């Protein structure tokens, strides 16, 4: 999933992309992106101060080999209850974010209503042509979970939140062999990856 998200971000062809990660946790995806993009301006949000401290330590350790224009910021926020977009407003990023990303986390926000609320806020942060790319656990008939949904439900939510769904997955097949794919979604095992554009 990290390779897939990284390739989507790389495909937007911005020299110094502004990237926002929702529910960034301990910074594993941030670390991956920091290592694969020559320059990055990154802002990660998470509910856990402990995980954010871990993320800061991880990224600071790798900082020495990065160009001076690389920026990695982490902020504590409850994405559903807090107005996390105020931080981006203060940074001058409203409507200028190149990509909003997330990995294995949106199901923790609650049901479709809560996830859609956050994805609508994310859409307002993105520039014209900006990307939303995320991977998350899909509904499993053998292990049902109230906040996991099938591919069609994810795609419908993206559409209802105002994202354009494109059939641009041909390059994805070079990264990892997905089990199934359709429109703006690809599946890797128990995980679905989704892309929406504005």
Residue pLDDT, tens place only, 22-78: 999 999 999 999 888 878 999 999 999 999 999 999 888 766 655 556 789 999 999
* Residue % of the chain over a pLDDT of 70: 87
Residue with tokens 């307002």: 124
The pLDDT assigned to 177 comes to 41
Are the beta carbons of 179 and 193 closer than 8 angstroms?
no
What's the burial of 65, exposed, middle or buried (CB within 10 Å: 0-12/13-18/19+)? Answer: exposed
Torsion of CA 142, 147, 151, 157, to 10 degrees: 160
Are the beta carbons of 28 and 135 closer than 8 angstroms?
no
Between 115 and 142, where is the model more confident? 115
The pLDDT assigned to 148 comes to 86
In a 3-state reduction of DSSP, which class is residue 144? Answer: coil
- Asked if residue 6 has pLDDT above 50, the reply is yes
Is 0.85 surpassed by the pTM of this model? yes
Buried b (16+ CB within 10 A) or exposed e, 169-188: beebeebeebeebebbbbbb
The C-alpha atoms of residue 85 and residue 122 are separated, in whole angstroms, by: 8
Average pLDDT over residues 135-152: 85
Average pLDDT over residues 76-104: 96
Lowest mean pLDDT across 61-65, 68-72, 113-117, 163-167: 61-65
State the chain's mean pLDDT as an integer: 87
The pLDDT assigned to 67 comes to 55
Token pair for 40: 């990055």
- Asked if residue 95 has pLDDT above 60, the reply is yes
The C-alpha atoms of residue 171 and residue 129 are separated, in whole angstroms, by: 19
């Amino acid at each position: 999933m990290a390779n897939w998200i990284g390739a989507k971000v790389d495909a937007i062809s911005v020299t110094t992309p502004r990237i926002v990660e929702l529910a960034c946790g301990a910074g594993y995806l941030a670390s991956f992106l920091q290592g694969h993009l020559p320059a990055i301006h990154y802002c990660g949000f998470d509910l856990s101060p402990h995980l954010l401290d871990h993320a800061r330590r991880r990224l600071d350790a790798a900082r020495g080999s990065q160009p001076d224009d690389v920026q990695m910021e982490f902020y504590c926020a409850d994405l559903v209850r807090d107005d996390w977009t105020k931080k981006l407003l203060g940074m001058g990023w409203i409507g200028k974010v190149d990509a909003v990303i997330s990995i294995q986390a949106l199901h923790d926000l609650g049901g479709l209503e809560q996830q859609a609320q956050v994805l609508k806020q994310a859409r307002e942060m993105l520039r014209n042509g900006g990307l939303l790319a995320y991977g998350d656990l899909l509904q499993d008939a053998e292990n049902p979970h109230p906040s996991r949904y099938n591919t069609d439900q994810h795609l419908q939510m993206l559409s209802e939140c105002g994202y354009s769904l494109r059939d641009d997955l041909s390059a994805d097949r070079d990264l990892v062999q997905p089990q199934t794919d359709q429109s703006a979604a690809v599946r890797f095992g128990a995980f679905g990856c989704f892309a929406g554009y504005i």
